[in-house]
Amino acid sequence: MTQITIRRPDDWHLHLRDGNMLQAVAPETARHFERAIIMPNLVPPVVTGAQASAYRDRILATLPEGSRFEPLMTLYLTEDTDAEDLARAHADGLIKAVKLYPAGATTNSASGVKNFDTVRPVLEKMAEIGCPLCVHGEVVDDDIDIFDREAVFIDRILDPLRQATPGLRVVMEHITTAQGAAYARSGGKDLGATITTHHLVINRNAMLVGGIKPHYYCLPVAKREEHRLALRKAATSGEACYFLGTDSAPHLDGAKLSACGCAGCFTATNTLSILAEVFEQDGALDKLEGFASLNGPAFYGLPVNTGTLTLTKGDPVTYPEKIVTPEGDVTVFDPMMPLHWRVD
């Protein structure tokens, strides 16, 4: 097969930042994606409907003329979240989900949840109105190894939370382990999981062997090869519970390469070429449309995009190494393999 046409894809987990960074990176996603769930971890975070509306306006203002890209907004869950404001924003169609960050788990998560009991009334309201909860699934306890944080979170936090809140629709964001893939598969219609592009490509060796490679440092951190293979098996399986969420996370090179480098891989530019390469390697090109274009809308109760996108196989595709911003460059994720699939 040298050409494949799919419904235009969506990205169910995306960081666009704000200001000059937003202006530089938003067109990279809008070029290939119809919609994206926008992460709310700005500084300060997006915690009210009014803030989500203003952020959406800033995103739309950066898009090229004629762009059809639709940002799907979220609220950042805090222990002070107003359940009624949340419900109004959801009823108005302003927000499509709420994001749960355990406090201290990742970039700009300091305002996240420490005591999960305090947010139970909000979660119950979300279950009542059908608003999904997108979960960054890691514990932050000092005594838990960073490579075990996801598996422990499932046992300690996520499973009890779901049992205590029947009907709550949950998206396990950016799963990185075989345990995460297995739990998502077992969860029924109210549980889904996003898988990133980079976690399908790298294991922890990419970050650590031959010297520290900051541009492969992300959170959740890449795991052992057995977990990467489990994620590829899940993504290419065709099972409806798995869908694309790139977690594309731009940081200036200066921040990535600093003594305490920021976590995140910027994959918006070349994700579709990488995915086609991965799915072809695993003999699953016929499953790419489900993963990138169909399963996410089905979980969120949204229509599938009517437009299409065609990828053609040929000579290796060249992508820019950097995206330029007024404050500095952002490095585009290097998949460490030639990419033969070009978006027409």
Q: Report the catalytic residues.
A: 247
Backbone angles phi, psi at 36, to 5 degrees: -155, 140
Nearest to 128 by CA among 166, 162, 74: 166
Cβ contact 86:75 at 8 Å: yes
Q: How far, in Å, are 149, 332, 334, 336, 337 from residue 269 at the CA level?
A: 29, 7, 11, 15, 16
Beta pairing, strands 308-313 & 3-7: antiparallel
Axis crossing angle, helix 49-62 with helix 83-91, rounded to the nearest 10: 40
Q: Answer left, alpha or beta for residue 291, where phi above 0 means left and psi between -120 and 50 means alpha.
A: alpha
Nearest to 289 by CA among 297, 281, 201, 67: 297
Nearest to 198 by CA among 179, 184, 219, 226: 219
Q: Answer left, alpha or beta for residue 260, where phi above 0 means left and psi between -120 and 50 means alpha.
A: beta
Q: How far, in Å, are 45, 74, 131, 316 from residue 94 at the CA level?
A: 16, 8, 12, 40
